[in-house]
Amino acid sequence: MPKQRNDKTLTRVDLASAVVREVGLSRQDSAEFVDTILNKVADALVRGESVKLSSFGAFHVRDKNQRMGRNPKTGEEVPISARRVVVFKASQVLKDRVDAHNSTQ
């Protein structure tokens, strides 16, 4: 039997609310705190730096070369331009935690 997919999404507001509950900052300070952290992560990635969060994972910027792709509707070949993409690699701690949760369901 396939596992059910959870369509719940964790948002900035959810993170800020967690900071309010766990740390006791005001809602505005919590929202600014979350925004500051996310902006620092984004700024580092824009500069091409990796971001490693212990026991969580690492974000890396990867350069992808130009390649040929195919339009799925028409089957026509189209060039896909070179670009930089962000990739995430989960830590073993996070993988184990997710796996442990999956095996209890």
Question: Domain extents for the chain?
Answer: 9-48, 50-105
Domain 50-105, what fold? HU Protein; Chain A (4.10.520)
Domains 9-48 and 50-105 share a fold: yes
CATH of 9-48, one of 3.30.565.10, 4.10.520.10, 1.10.10.10, 3.30.1280.10: 4.10.520.10
In this prediction the pTM is 0.78
The per-residue pLDDT for 104 is 73
**Which run of H or of E encompasses 99?**
helix 92-103
Calculate mean pLDDT across residues 12-23: 95
| DSSP for 8-54, written as a single string | ----HHHHHHHHHHHH---HHHHHHHHHHHHHHHHHHHHTT--EEET
Share the mean pLDDT of the chain.
92
**Residues 62-93 pLDDT 10s:** 999 999 999 999 999 999 999 999 999 999 99
pLDDT band at 1 (very low <50, low <70, confident <90, very high): very low
